[in-house]
Amino acid sequence: MTEKLHAPVIAWFDAHARDLPWRRPEAGPWGVMVSEFMLQQTPVSRVQPVYEQWLARWPRPADLAEEAPGEAVRAWGRLGYPRRALRLHGAAVAITERHDGDVPTDHAQLLALPGIGEYTAAAVASFAYGQRHAVLDTNVRRVFARAVTGVQYPPNATTAAERRLARELLPEDERTAARWAAASMELGALVCTAKNETCQRCPIAGECAWRLAGKPEHEGPPRRGQTYAGTDRQVRGKLLAVLREAHTPVPQTALDRVWHEPVQRARALDGLVSDGLVEPLAGGLYRLPLG
């Protein structure tokens, strides 16, 4: 089964992979790392312009490390989940201090950087350095769930069984394994999508256990889409938008105008302060963090 998957998926990727800036040689390991932080729970179309502006401003980790963390939050724009900006800034500082400004090649050293978990460490090691690692994002997990285990959707959280399967599916050759990681991810993003999958375009449709079983319906807990309107996340975004636009401290009254419900607004602002995304000052003023 394993051998029957690798060649057709990689051949499909060679023919159909999107030309994305972080896949180009000039992106380098830092460009790959930046893209991995930005792409978490955020579509490519929203990431690409912010990514390009980010790399133009901070082409090396040391360039970002020299800036206040609030500048990373400001440049993050409307990508969402802005704590990622702080974590990326923290990783840049650590790379500058521990690794002479070069993104480390060693998986364990990548994993030791602040803000980097197992997925991001594996992705950078694989995509930037061509190493052999199982890279399990939502798209890859869905491809493996359908093609190998015959179920429509993977569990909500990555399981030990999924990690074991991903390791079993890894090609032995390091370069091929890195290509497989990128190819299986692209297949999930473009063809084996969560909804309206296009099996007629899939290079492994003839091997897919889920398709061969007649595409049985999902039997697990109901899959709920994330809501945004009216949530604390939306309020946090509105508050941060005011602070990103301002280059001097902002009074409480300016923040009060962005959301009508005072209790939720206060809770959202308190959360931003607790997360280190907003810095309170004397006199009821607020700004993006300086240190």
Of 287, 291, 35, 1, nearest to 144 by C-alpha is: 1
Q: What are the structure tokens assigned to 140, written together?
A: 């890859």
Annotation marks residue 168 as catalytic: no
Query: Using 50, 70 and 90 to split pLDDT, how confident is the model at 19?
Result: very high
Contacts 24+ apart (CB under 8 A), 120-126: 120/33, 120/36, 120/37, 122/181, 123/32, 123/36, 123/181, 124/29, 124/32, 124/33, 124/36, 126/177, 126/178, 126/181, 126/182
Average pLDDT over the chain, rounded to an integer: 95
pLDDT in tens, 107-138: 999 999 999 999 999 999 999 999 999 999 99
Asked if the model's pLDDT at residue 223 lies above 90, the reply is: no
pLDDT, tens digit (0-9, with 9 covering 90-100), for 237-285: 999 999 999 989 999 999 999 999 999 999 999 999 999 999 999 999 9
Q: What CA–CA distance (Å, rounded) separates 98 from 109?
A: 10
- Strand pairing report for 279-281 and 285-287: antiparallel
pLDDT band at 1 (very low <50, low <70, confident <90, very high): low
Given the residues 36, 71, 162, 186, the one annotated as active site: 36
CA dihedral 143, 149, 152, 157 (to 10 degrees): -80
Write down the pLDDT at residue 47. 97
pTM, whole model, 2 decimals?
0.92
Percent above pLDDT 70 for the chain: 99
φ, ψ of residue 243 in degrees (nearest 5): -70, -35
Contact 73, 277 (CB under 8 A): yes
Phi and psi at residue 286, to the nearest 5°: -140, 150
